[in-house]
Amino acid sequence: MTHQKMQKGTILEIIRMSTEDGPGIRTTIFFKGCPLACRWCHNPESISAKPQIQWIQTSCIGCGICVETCPEKALTHTAEGITINRAVCTDCGVCTEECPTTAMELLGKKWSIPDLASEVVKDRVFFEQSGGGVTLSGGEPTLQKDFCLGLLKELRGKGIQTALDTCGQVPQSILAELLPYVDVLLYDLKEIDSKKHKTFTGVGNEKILSNAVFAAHFKKTHPYPKTLWIRTPIIPGTTDRADNIQRLGDFIRTNLAGAVDRWELCAFNNLCRDKYARLGMDWPYADQALPERSFMEQLTGIAKNCVPQTSVCWSGSTKLNQNTSTGLPDKSTGVPLIGC
């Protein structure tokens, strides 16, 4: 137990009153580090397991303190603002501690299990009223397996409902260890074609599919997890093929029968474009338009036909109608979610 208390996890962010990461009102913990490198990733700052520095232009007052304090001389003050020489920067975080505005930000902070658990149970009342709880997301929480397990146990001990949001690229033994402490499993199935999966994410999908079967079986034969939601990102020119949805649906119907409570198709969005720029990364989807609403509905129709016994839905933003100059409400518009 003492060992567990000493353990630290690398956490990107904690979002409270999340309404998008499982049932009810949730506090979502974004873990840092992911075994996949999806080319469309919306949270690129979560891929690397290590803490990373970023600079946020809108918060910067140009005082130059970061440049002066950087022990590696990795920062320069240019006309465009602060540039980080990634080859030199060790992500030590000294500049982020000295920055008066928090424009220099360290992505990824160390948390102990007791501290993190007591932080995320603060909304207990709201969880209870909504059937919500805490979601472990990322990144890939299972990459920090011991921390993840310790945290799940701690939360279970406090009577908090837990959700695990996983990409499934994880040794089965780890999954078997974690699942008894998971109330809601959010499981990503992105691409049915393993070759394509490897192209898009860096790994084939064999382990992901077999783990899905394992998790579904586990759910049916054990008290936990109680709920299983499958989520599929609909990425233009990538996973958004009718045949992908059709075959994923066939897979779910055939191999996960009776275990899936919900299948959600998540529309691509482009709001993360600036995150890539800030991290000094290129993003192949920078100029990609959002999907049409009718297209999302069409894919949802295909999905529904595949798994008539399962609840199917889609979420996210869709393309703005260009005829908005008429001033008429545009029914094809999705709503961005802005909580404050």
Partner 1 sequence: METVLSSSNKLKEPAGLSSRIQWLRDYYFRGTERAWNNEFTCWTTGTPWDVIYNELTFYIVPETYTLLGTLGASYRQAARPVELHPDFWHWPLVERRAWFVREVIVNCVPQEILPGDLLAGARFNVQTSMCFTAEGSKTWQKLVKGKNGARAQMKRFHDHGYGNAGATSGHLIPGYERLLSLGWKGIHAELMSFYNALNKNERTGPKGAQLRAMITVSTMARDLASRYKSLCENLAQSEPDAHRRTELRTMAANLSRVPWEPATTFWEAVQALWINHMLVMTDENYPGAGVSFGRVDQYLYPYYEKSSRDGMDREWAKEILKCFWIHANTAYDAMIRNGNQGITAGFGQLVTLSGLGAKGLDMTNDLTYVILEVIDEMSPILEPKPNVRLHQKSPEALLDKIVDMIESSQGAPFLLNFDERSMAGMMLEARKAGLADLINRDNVHEYAPVGCLENTMVGNDRSGTVDNNINLLKAVELTLTGGKDLLPFTDPMTGKTESVKQDGPRTPDASFFKTWEDFWRAYEIQTRYIIQKCVDLYEISESIRARFFPTPYLSCLVKGCAEKAKDITQGGAQISFVTLEAVTYATTVDSLLAIKYLVFDKKACTMQELTNALAANWKGFEVLQAMAKNRAPKYGRDDDEADELARKVMQLWCDETWRHTTKATGRRFRPGMLSWNYWAGDGYVMAASADGRTKGQFLSNAICPSNGVDIKGPTSNANSVGKVLGGKAKDGRGDWQDYFNDLPNGASHTITFNPSILRDPSHKDKFKAFLKGYAHNGGTALQINMLDPGMLKDAQAHPQDYRHLLVRITGYNAYFTTVGRELQNEVIERVSHNKF
Query: Of residues 123, 140, 154, 191, which one binds partner 1 by CB under 8 A?
Result: 123
CA 309 to chain centre: 27
Q: Which of 65, 92, 176, 302 binds partner 1 (CB under 8 A)?
A: 65
How would you classify residue 62: left for phi > 0, otherwise alpha for psi between -120 and 50, otherwise beta?
Answer: left
What type of residue is 21?
D
DSSP-derived secondary structure letter, 291: P
* Tokens found for residue 42: 């919306």
Q: Any contact of residue 286 with partner 1 (CB under 8 A)?
A: no
Q: Considering the rule CB under 8 A, would residue 339 count as an interface residue with partner 1?
A: yes
Closest CB to partner 1 among residues 116, 149 = 116
The helix (H) or strand (E) run that includes residue 67 is: helix 65-69
d(CA 167, CA 35): 9
Site for partner 1 in 292-321 (CB under 8 A): 293, 311, 313-318, 320
Stretch that binds partner 1, among 80-88, 174-182, 189-197, 263-271 (CB under 8 A): 263-271
161-173 residues labelled b (16+ CB within 10 A) or e (exposed): bbbbbbbbbbeee
The correct pick among 5, 76, 100, 157 for binding partner 1 (CB under 8 A) is 100
CA atoms in the 13 A half-sphere facing the CB of 101: 15
Contacts of partner 1 in 40-59 (CB under 8 A): 42-43, 56, 58-59
Q: Which of residues 151-170 bind partner 1 (CB under 8 A)?
A: none
Whose tokens are 């309404």? That residue is 19
3-state DSSP assignment of residue 201: helix
Candidates 97-105, 189-197, 200-208, 244-252; binding stretch for partner 1 (CB under 8 A): 97-105
CA distance 156 to 322: 49
Does position 131 interact with partner 1 (CB under 8 A)? The reply is yes
Cβ 52 to partner 1 shortest distance, Å: 15
Give residues in contact with partner 1 (CB under 8 A): 13, 15-20, 24-25, 30, 42-43, 56, 58-59, 61, 63, 65, 100-102, 122-123, 125-126, 128-132, 231, 233, 262, 264, 266-267, 269-275, 277, 293, 311, 313-318, 320, 324, 327, 329-340
